[in-house]
Amino acid sequence: MTHFLTKASLAALLALCTIPATVSTAAAAGPQTNFVVEAQYHRPIRGCSPMQAVRKARDFGLRDARITRMSPRVVVVAGRERRGWDRITFANVRGCPLIRR
Burial of 8 (0-12, 13-18, 19+ CB in 10 A): exposed
| The model's pTM | 0.54
Report the percentage of the chain scoring pLDDT > 70: 66
pLDDT at 21: 54
Q: Which residue has the higher pLDDT, 45 or 71?
A: 71
Of 2-6, 31-35, 57-61, the range with the lowest mean pLDDT is: 31-35
Nearest residue to 97 via CA among 66, 80, 75: 75
φ and ψ of 96, to 5 deg: 50, 65
pLDDT, one tens digit per residue, over 52-95 is: 999 999 999 999 999 999 999 999 999 999 999 999 999 999 88
Band of pLDDT at residue 6, cut at 50, 70 and 90:
confident
Angle at 76 (CA atoms; ends 90, 78), nearest 5 degrees: 120
